[in-house]
A = this chain, B = another copy of it.
Amino acid sequence: MSVLDELTASLPDGVVVTDPVLTDKYRFDRAADPGAGTPLAVVRAMSTEQVQTALRWASEHRVAVVPRGAGTGLSGGSTALTGGIVLSTERMRDIAIDRLSRVAVVQPGLLNAEVKQAAAEAGLWYPPDPSSFEICSIGGNVATNAGGLCCVKYGVTSDYVLALEVVLADGRALRLGGPRLKDSAGLSLTKLFVGSEGTLGVVTEVTLRLMPPQPPPRTVVATFADTHAATEAIVAITSTLRPAMLEYMDRTTVNAVEDHLRMGLDRSAAALIVARTDTEGSTADRELAQMVAAFERCGAGEVVSTDDPAEGEAFTLARRQAIPAMEKKGKLLLEDVGVAVPRLPALVSGIEAIAAARDVTIALIAHAGDGNTHPLIVFDPADARAAQRAQTAFGEVMDLAIELDGTITGEHGVGRLKQPWLAAQVGDDVIDLSRRIKAAIDPLGIMNPGAVL
């Protein structure tokens, strides 16, 4: 019996998939890492016990394990490795909601939108909202510490994770944290596992804090004739109030979205900002007035407010569709760089300078209110020199973020594509410490090798 047959025999039929037609779909995540390998097998686990079985086998035979949620990762964290297995949690999809504690216990394969939906049916709200929320899994959200549009006021995935069940490389299943809102008992292992991108173990259950429903938002949209004025308006707003959303799109993305959705966006604007408050009554009036005043003071062209949630939602949809719309324009290198908000103007103008110097198109969208931008480098993959220039610009954008005391990734994770830049951001001592922690948890180094560290 081969080593792989041993694994297949130890799990129910259909869990271990080796047919290349099927396994090929698990080679790449949305980052389409050109270095993707061909996995030995894909394990589509249906339970914690099956994950344990797979990891015990992997430890015994020192086989690399790439954990995978919905495969929507943007940094190559789920790129398959030749000779390794892909451990997919897509079939682990249970959810239980406790209304009184405002807590959801979720398996990792459930999509973010399905968690939101289940919460809404219980009269509650799960805030984190990556733009890909309809197709990304909650397990992947935990692995990357995913963010989204409402994070500027409501925080990221880590802020909602009260507890995890994780399976370690050696097959042990551990419960970290619990359904308590406050807990200072021992090292914060729950927080350590959030954002660890499958390098420490496999998340098999997540306990999420839920919120009472969000009040109906009020939206204000502003256009700007130059990007610097737009980013100055962002700084003016965030230094005095906490909007429920503060999103930015530049001309290239506005036009791509308009090509895609035909919703009547102003194609001539250099930048468009979508801002929201979800406060109520006089507070909302005051916050909207403050935002409008900041836009006008910074020289906005058009400023439009709406109390109609549907109209406000249309602008949010436009923002959410920016990446799919840009994907129609060519091959993308997706960045996720972030800085302290006052450095946003310098980051945006620096990115424009890189685009000019390297003769590449860099479309820019941003969760501007928390300084997290997504420069999208778009190029024709058939043009080798353009692809090379895009790759150079990709690195230079991260170098710029690091120079501005920023981060190479705000919410997508390091994966494999940004791994070469991590040390420049955090320093060799932090890399060394991270490696020592990784080795303490995964001594054989089988968990997602090559990702992050």
Q: Which residues of A contact B (CB under 8 A)?
A: 98-103, 144-145, 147, 151-152, 155-156, 158-159, 168, 172, 174-176, 178-189, 191-192, 194-196, 199-200, 211-212, 215, 235, 238-242, 279-283, 336, 338-342, 367, 370-372, 405-414, 418, 422, 425-427, 429-431, 433-434, 436-441, 452-453
Contact = CB atoms under 8 A, between A and B. Distances in A.
A192 B192 contact: yes
Nearest to A196: B187
A175 B410 contact: no
Contacts of A156: 182
Contact of A411 (B98, B184, B196, B413): B184
B370 A238 contact: no
Contact of A405 (B155, B178, B409): B178
14 contacts: A100-B342, A101-B342, A158-B191, A174-B430, A178-B406, A180-B410, A181-B341, A182-B370, A184-B409, A184-B410, A186-B434, A186-B452, A188-B194, A279-B280
Contacts of A102: 238-239
Contact of A338 (B180, B425, B426, B438): B180
Contacts of A242: 211-212
A96 B367 CA distance: 26
Contact of A192 (B184, B187, B282, B336): B187
Contacts of A191: 158, 188, 191-192, 194
A412 B283 contact: no
B281 A98 contact: no
A18 to B, nearest CB: 32
Nearest to A176: B430
B100 A235 contact: yes
Count this chain's copies in the assembly: 2
Contact of A283 (B187, B279, B407, B438): B279
A418 to B, nearest CB: 8
B412 A184 contact: yes
A180 B283 contact: no
A297 to B, nearest CB: 15
Contacts of A199: 187
B407 A180 contact: yes
A187 B195 contact: yes
Given A185-B407, A211-B242, 15 more contacts: A176-B426, A181-B338, A181-B341, A181-B372, A183-B407, A184-B410, A184-B414, A186-B422, A189-B192, A189-B434, A212-B242, A283-B283, A433-B440, A433-B441, A439-B440
A427 B452 CA distance: 29
A331 to B, nearest CB: 23
Given A430-B174, A433-B168, A437-B437, A410 B183 contact: yes
A14 B250 CA distance: 58
Given A144-B184, A186-B452, A422-B186, A341 B100 contact: yes
A441 B436 contact: yes
Nearest to A157: B184
Contact of A178 (B196, B282, B407, B452): B407
A174 B427 contact: yes
A339 B413 contact: no
User: Quick one: which of A413, A426, A427 has the most chain B CB within 10 A?
Assistant: A426
B281 A425 contact: no
A374 to B, nearest CB: 12
Given A188-B158, A441-B437, A371 B174 contact: no
Given A159-B155, A191-B188, A427-B174, A180 B340 contact: yes
User: Quick one: which of A102, A175, A186, A426 has the most chain B CB within 10 A?
Assistant: A186
Contacts of A183: 338, 407, 409-410
Nearest 8 CB-CB pairs, A to B?
A191-B191, A181-B370, A182-B410, A281-B282, A281-B281, A440-B440, A436-B440, A100-B342
A241 to B, nearest CB: 6
B184 A188 contact: no
B192 A422 contact: no
Contacts of A283: 215, 279-281, 283
Given A174-B427, A280-B282, A371 B159 contact: no
B181 A414 contact: no
